[in-house]
Chain A
Amino acid sequence: MKISRRTKGAAALAGIAAFALIATGCSSGGSSASSSGSSTDPITLNVTTFGTMGYDDLYKQYEQLHPNITINATIIDTGDNAKTDWQTKEAAGAGLPDVQAVEEGWLSAVMQVSDQFNDLSQYGANDIKDRWVPWKLAQATDAKGRIIGYGSDIGPEGICYNSKDFAAAGLPTDRDAVAALFGGDSATWADYFTIGQQYKAATGKAFYDQSGFLWNAMVNQLKEGYYKTDGTLNVEGNAQLEALWTQLSSATASGLSANQTAWDWGKGKAFTDGSFSTFVCPGWMLGVVKGQVTSAGGDATSGWDFANVFPGGAANWGGSFLTVPTQSKHPQEAADLAAFLTNAQSQAAAFGVAGTFPSVTAAQSDPAVTGTNDLSTFFNNAPLGTILAARAKGVVAQYKGPDDSVIQSQVFGPAIQEIDSGKADGATAWNDAITLLNQLVVNK
């Protein structure tokens, strides 16, 4: 008995020791700041990005320019997974990289804990802040006026259309004529849906893949979206929003939506079998369209083209930022790297690789952006850079509340699916969305 009690003690001691180990391990990870070291000490910078941001060659360049710096890059497949990764590490208080890429879609979550990111104006942001389009900089500035991220790309939206399908429906196929058909600079959603009806009457086919992307664009175009600028919810009783919903749901009810699963599209087959003929295309989406068409066995002859027009005026969807979490041990070096990756030259180079349209004004007119590349060849030699630069004019940053992404995906996501699949009419789906809003956001 005596002996076994002693072993118990030993076990407990071992347990305590293990706990202590873990505890100290955590605290050493948590303590940061301080030593930035002299500029010649060899240091390693961890960088986490997602999707295709086109930075691989730029890392090599930077390492050549700064022989003491080694860049350790982690690329996460999608923005959503990158969000989960960041959230987990943020909640755990350890494990974040020196440079963390943040997508606009979850920027509002990041802003909740903006004090966990370094204020880049202490590391030279004030010298370079004129390089970005003003609304991009505004998005990366938190409520206290701290700049927590350097803008990388933006997502000005144009319309992708399939010229073969348009020809079959007797519509113009030339991209300037198509832009004029939709109403040019004064294009409205009503115009877009009217042409959709014509197309449907001529071919019997749907006009757009599903309603979600259209709704996303409609909401982003408003001066105030799901939240008012003062941070209060702005959905229930918002007549402007409800009118747009009615417009979208009645168009969908008349068969303009192909009710495709977004981000799946039958592994790309929906892009090549004529299921729909127009598609909402922010800059970074062009690469996605090419990928989908290619994976379904299509190529440049599949007929996709890009028109310099967007219903309802200028709109932005997505885009990313490079931030420096306070967990970083080398905030100065990390900020310098982020500044390098977002300068005009780097952004122009990244556009050529990944189709990410620059948020830096000087890069938007860079020949590498306005010229031809693999992507523009795929889109029937459309001058992608020039069109996107035109589409970026007039975009304003909308205030995003903390639950913006929850409202987008979990409140209106199900409602969109209801109208797309014909499970419910517009009014019912709107009421369902309001019920969900109260359940998920108001009474959380």
Chain B
Amino acid sequence: MTTTLTPPEEKSSEAVPPQRAKPKLPFKYRLSRWDVKASPYVYIAPFFILFGLVGLFPLGYTFVVSLNKWNLLTGPGGFVGLSNYVAELNDPFFWNSLFNTVSIFLLSAVPQLIIAVVIAAVLDQNIRGKTFWRMSVLIPYVVTPVAVTLIFSSAFDEKYGAINNLLQFFHLNPIMWKTETFPSHIAIATMVNWRWTGYNALILLAAMQAVPRDIYESAALDGAGAIRRFFSMTLPSIRPTMIFVIITATVGGLQIFTEPKLFNPTTATPGGPQRQYQTTVLYLWDLAFNRQNFGKASAVAWLLFLIIVLFGLLNFLISRRIASTEARSSKRKTAKRLAAYNQNKIS
């Protein structure tokens, strides 16, 4: 537009011959340059197009829904701004679901990672039938969560379950696995651990195997025992993998749905008779499909998304901080020792 209004001033400069003449490249050469520059984008395009379609678009659409009063069946019922978010942040059931989620997450993630590290360390040793053991720890992961939940749900049954039968055999009181808060969280965390421990162990094992063996040998020659080697060498070297495992465990743990949904599928309220183990995803499912409140359910979905991002960042910062302080303190220690050594030498 502006070019038509203002007189073209470039003409004069054009009259001056260009300082560097641009040779016209042959088509073949241009094509190959285009190929080098553009092809990578074309190759990764399918992912981003798909991500936009099934990831980004639903995310945006969910946000639009969350700003409206929206019945699942009768559809949108008017723009309400952020009031769905306000209502959910004041809803005790939302906070209850968040408490349950975090509680189950902590009960599962912490023991799971500790056990996974131990299993990985054991598998890292020179044991007989390596492949057999390695495949064995992955088997629980291969079984679908629905089947796992069915089996555990029947084992944890309050009246007829194997675990309570065993307790009663030893004249102990049966535990109300399905109707009390803490026992139900333990039961669900057990299912999660059963499924994910082996998987995490294998990832950690891969990281451990990447640690150069000669360092271990020299440490052993210097007199470091197996435990000392594990804590001072194995753990620090697998830290990046640990961070990855922790973050994926966080994302997965905060989105837990199948296990609590199917733990006691016949209960009238999903997630326990008094919502004892109704996790946030289960709560949002309940809101959308039992209470037909699509607007509020979308608001919960977004709140959960923000919470997961927050947790992820927090995890990242903490694990990075641990990494850097350790490095710093070890540097300081080395410096101190070096100074002391030098002093001794001088004196």
Contacts and interface: CB of A to CB of B under 8 A. Distances in A.
Interface of A: 3-4, 6-8, 10-11, 14-15, 18-19, 22, 84, 87-88, 90-91, 109, 112-113, 212, 260-264, 266-267, 269-270, 405-406, 408-410, 413-414, 416-418, 421, 439-440, 444
Contacts of A212: 268
Tell me what chain B mostly uses at the interface: helix, strand, loop, or mixed.
loop
Contacts of A439: 91-93
Contacts of B49: 11, 14-15, 18
Interface in B139-159: 154, 157-159
Nearest to A296: B160
Contact of A413 (B73, B93, B268): B268
A444 B293 contact: yes
A406 B41 contact: no
B292 A109 contact: yes
B179 interface: yes
B73 A414 contact: no
Contacts of B71: 112
B291 A90 contact: no
A87 B72 contact: yes
B37 A421 contact: no
Given A261-B178, A410-B268, A266 B160 contact: yes
Contact of A15 (B52, B264, B273, B293): B52
B266 A263 contact: yes
Contact of A414 (B45, B157, B269): B269
Given A261-B264, A413-B269, A414-B269, A4 B290 contact: no
Given A84-B289, A261-B178, A439-B93, A11 B41 contact: yes
Contacts of B266: 261-264
B165 to A, nearest CB: 11
20 contacts: A7-B42, A7-B45, A11-B45, A22-B53, A87-B73, A88-B289, A113-B73, A261-B158, A261-B266, A263-B266, A410-B290, A413-B267, A413-B268, A413-B273, A414-B268, A414-B275, A417-B267, A418-B274, A439-B93, A444-B293
B242 to A, nearest CB: 36
B53 A421 contact: no
A406 B290 contact: yes
B48 interface: yes
Contacts of B290: 405-406, 409-410
Contacts of A440: 291
Interface in B274-311: 274-275, 289-294
Interface of B: 34, 37-38, 41-42, 45, 48-49, 52-53, 71-74, 91-93, 154, 157-160, 176, 178-179, 264, 266-269, 273-275, 289-294
Nearest to A88: B289
A181 B92 CA distance: 48
A444 B176 CA distance: 31
Nearest to A403: B291
A408 B291 CA distance: 12
Contacts of A444: 291, 293
A91 B73 contact: yes
B268 A267 contact: no
A3 B134 CA distance: 48
B76 to A, nearest CB: 11
A147 B166 CA distance: 56
- The 5 A-B pairs of least Cβ separation, nearest first, read A413-B268, A266-B160, A417-B273, A263-B266, A409-B268
Contacts of B273: 413-414, 417-418
Contacts of B41: 4, 7-8, 11
Contacts of B294: 91
Contact of B291 (A10, A15, A270, A406): A406
Contacts of B48: 11
B74 A112 contact: yes
Contacts of B92: 439
A214 B113 CA distance: 47
A260 B73 CA distance: 34
Chain A contact residues: helix, strand, loop or mixed: helix
A373 B41 CA distance: 69
Given A3-B34, A4-B37, A84-B289, A410 B269 contact: yes
A46 B41 CA distance: 44
A340 B178 CA distance: 45
A263 B158 CA distance: 14
Contacts of A260: 159
A416 B179 CA distance: 13
Contacts of B269: 409-410, 413-414
B82 to A, nearest CB: 17
A256 to B, nearest CB: 17
Residue in B176, B268, B269, B273 whose Cβ sees the most chain A Cβ within 10 Å:
B268
A3 B37 contact: yes
A320 to B, nearest CB: 19
Contacts of A416: 268
B274 A414 contact: yes
Contacts of B268: 212, 408-410, 413-414, 416-417
Contact of A270 (B53, B91, B159, B179): B159
Nearest to A109: B73
Contacts of A413: 267-269, 273
A267 B265 CA distance: 13
Given A6-B38, A109-B73, 8 more contacts: A15-B53, A18-B49, A22-B53, A91-B72, A261-B158, A264-B266, A266-B160, A409-B290
Given A113-B74, A406-B290, A417 B160 contact: no
Contact of A87 (B37, B93, B289): B289
Contacts of A421: 176, 179
Contacts of B74: 112-113
B44 to A, nearest CB: 10
A405 B269 CA distance: 11
Contacts of B176: 421
A417 B180 CA distance: 12
Contacts of B42: 7, 10
A293 to B, nearest CB: 15
A266 B37 contact: no
A330 to B, nearest CB: 24
A25 to B, nearest CB: 13
B52 to A, nearest CB: 6
B96 to A, nearest CB: 11
Contacts of B275: 414
Contacts of B34: 3
Nearest to B158: A261
A373 to B, nearest CB: 28
A109 B293 CA distance: 13
Nearest to B50: A18
Contacts of A91: 72-73, 294
Contacts of B274: 414, 417-418
Given A410-B290, A417-B273, A267 B160 contact: yes
Nearest to B33: A3
A106 to B, nearest CB: 10
A444 B177 CA distance: 31
